[in-house]
Structure 1
Amino acid sequence: MSPTAKESTPEAQPADVAPVAPHPSFIQVANPYIFEKTVQDCFAATGVNPLREDSNRLQGITWIDNVRKALHLPVRTFNTASIYYHKFRLVHPDNEYNYIEAAAAALFTACKIEDTLKKSRDILCCSYNLKLPPTEQLSADDPIFESHSRSIIGLERLMLESSGFDFRNRHPQKILMKLTRQCGLDKDSKVGRVAYTISLDLYRTFAPLKQTSATMAFACLELAARLLEEPVGKIHSEEI
């Protein structure tokens, strides 16, 4: 007996089948490190324009750096704010937010986590006054900052969600200073200063999301030594 047409032809699967949801007992924890492929997959999923990605990333980190210097915040706050800004951009498309508000929310969140508390109005006021002469600067209580302050407070929750509520922070500058001393160099030496500057510039990239603090510290010190044509034998020593 020959098979019928219904038996020989497989049933067509509907195109709009919903993906299988995870099991209710499934618990997803935050990943301290990610791969470059994960970064690219996130940008592909959010539809980020590759031509604008570098510009938005650098502008946001530059804004954070300028404001934290004006507020006299420590480097650890800058590190944490940069991490939150990067993780936020991996989840949310650029057309959903203004990069300045995202950077301000990242800095506001980092101030809480690093116990260097600043109000959202203080951050906005500082950024606004950076572009004005002293005679025209405003106070943090000015009504002009009211709406933007509320936006930053609302973005704070999204910052924490984007990071997976991961409060583990890494600061390679501490390890870098120890390595500099182990190599017989002073922290104020030319190699030490250049290495420290490189460690700050690393946060303009996604390297802190992909590498450990020790790896970044070693890389900064070796790169500084090679740029200044200093011997790097001590850096590769097994004693370190």
Structure 2
Amino acid sequence: MNQSRVQSPAPHSSSKFFHPYFTPAETEYLSEKQRGKLSVTQEERVRQNACNFIDTLGARVGFPRRTIATAQNLYHRFHLFFPRKDFNYVEVSLAALYVSTKMHDTLKKTRELLAVSYAIRFPELVAKSKHPAGIVDVDSMDPTIVENDRQRVLSIERLLLETICFNFTSRMPFPYVIKLGKAFGASKQLTKLAWRLTIDCHRTLVPLQFPPHIVALAALYSAALLSSFEQPDGDKSAHEIAEALGRNGDWEEKYQVQVDDLEAIAHTLLDMLIQGAQTQTLNTSPRTPSSPSTNPSPRTSHPLVEPQPSTIQWNTDQLIRLKIALRAAEHPQRQRQPLGSADPSALYSGDDIDLLGRSEGTVRFLFGPPGTSDDF
């Protein structure tokens, strides 16, 4: 008598591809998809709060700028694939910084990061702490709370690693700023401003849209514009660089960049500086609450830190006039083609959130977008 053999279903198998850069159209589509009921203004406010939190925490720990900037990039990338309403931006920021420390070999334990974060979020606990560095002694806190926070950070870390397909390669624009400044004969002051603008670029989605050498050159161009606009007796090198990079030339082929890329990034930086200048004007006193919520909401009206770009030196009217002048003389924006042929958001379904800490089926993580990676 033959018995039928019951075969178990084959384990689920899928592939996920790493997208090093996205077109502006892709980032707009993905951001809108994950924004939920938040307005664009609310989303930007949350993004700036997260960037400030990462910056503040990283500075207190003593991380180099590359670790802080990469963490901000990881935060932006994470919310291209996962809804903002499902995650606390403080926890995502901590996980992003933790992953960044691994990428740049500046590793700190999660408990160390949590201790510093508690000091930022709950300054009243610092007064009770006996730690000489002025951070919260986690050993004196409820161990259940600390462990729950640690596990949550580690759970988000897994999702972050999946969004980069475990690709720990990280190229930063900062070294290019110095090299390009020398190549174009920029003054030391102008190069310093370009460096600071490069830092501010990581508060935006620009590093997810352009390679680092383009980001660096755009920061130099923006610095030249800010230093030469309505300043006939200003930095001579700034006038020359702004004029050279503001028109088509041999430099485009030499540096593998086009003038419309620089203008697009310059507009993004100007928008951020205008917002920062307006915020600075409205704030006549510190706005950091003495006891922020333990579970901040994206809709909270009391952020941990007010958004403040590091380069606010110009008033709103000056920045708006520069933006209008740049818009009047800008070149047509070309249509950028995506690196892959598939919708990148389809590679990270919302079901991934339910798989925290689990391994379901077989997943291949490839270091390039569809069409550029080798399939075996």
* Pairwise TM-score range, normalised by the shorter structure: 0.7 to 0.9
CA RMSD of aligned residues (A): 2.4
- 1:231 matched to 2:239: yes
More displaced 10-residue stretch of structure 1: 224-233 or 56-65? 224-233
The TM-score normalised by the length of structure 2 is: 0.53
2:25 aligned residue (12, 31, 37): 37
**Which residues in structure 2 correspond to 1:106-185 (within 5 Å)?**
106-130=96-120, 132=123, 135-137=127-129, 138-144=136-142, 145-185=146-186
- Which AA in structure 2 matches 1:136? K
Deviations 1:180-219 (A, max 9, x none): 2233346xx3212211111011011100000011111111
- Paired with 2:140 and 2:156, the residues of 1 have a C-alpha distance of 21
- 1:193 matched to 2:192: yes
Deviations 1:131-160 (A, max 9, x none): 537643422434343321111111110111
CA contact 2:55–2:68 (8 Å) conserved in 1? yes
1:73 aligned residue (63, 68, 91): 63
Partner of 2:259: none
Task: Point out which structure has higher relative CO (alpha carbons under 8 A, 6+ apart).
Answer: 2
User: What is the Cα deviation at residue 65 of structure 1?
Assistant: 0.5
User: What is the Cα deviation at residue 91 of structure 1?
Assistant: 1.2
User: What is the Cα deviation at residue 80 of structure 1?
Assistant: 1.5
User: What is the Cα deviation at residue 119 of structure 1?
Assistant: 1.0
C-alpha change, 1:233 and 1:192, in structure 2 (3 Å) is closer
The TM-score normalised by the length of structure 1 is: 0.80
- Paired with 1:72 and 1:195, the residues of 2 have a C-alpha distance of 22
User: What is the Cα deviation at residue 224 of structure 1?
Assistant: 0.7
C-alpha change, 1:199 and 1:47, in structure 2 (3 Å) is closer
User: What is the Cα deviation at residue 124 of structure 1?
Assistant: 1.5
Deviations 1:56-78 (A, max 9, x none): 11111110011001111011111
- Paired with 2:101 and 2:205, the residues of 1 have a C-alpha distance of 21
CA contact 1:121–1:141 (8 Å) conserved in 2? no
Alignment length, in residue pairs?
Answer: 215
- Paired with 1:165 and 1:177, the residues of 2 have a C-alpha distance of 30
C-alpha change, 1:182 and 1:29, in structure 2 (3 Å) is same
- Which AA in structure 1 matches 2:152? S
Which runs of 5 or more structure 2 residues have no equivalent in the other structure?
A: 1-12, 130-135, 229-237, 256-376
CA contact 2:224–2:241 (8 Å) conserved in 1? no
More displaced 10-residue stretch of structure 1: 98-107 or 147-156? 147-156
CA contact 1:222–1:232 (8 Å) conserved in 2? no
- Which AA in structure 1 matches 2:240? V
CA contact 1:32–1:209 (8 Å) conserved in 2? yes
User: What is the Cα deviation at residue 168 of structure 1?
Assistant: 2.3
C-alpha change, 1:232 and 1:212, in structure 2 (3 Å) is farther
- Which AA in structure 2 matches 1:160? L
Q: Give the match's secondary structure for 2:139.
A: coil
- Paired with 1:161 and 1:139, the residues of 2 have a C-alpha distance of 32
More displaced 10-residue stretch of structure 1: 33-42 or 152-161? 33-42
Which runs of 5 or more structure 1 residues have no equivalent in the other structure?
A: 1-23
- Paired with 2:140 and 2:206, the residues of 1 have a C-alpha distance of 38
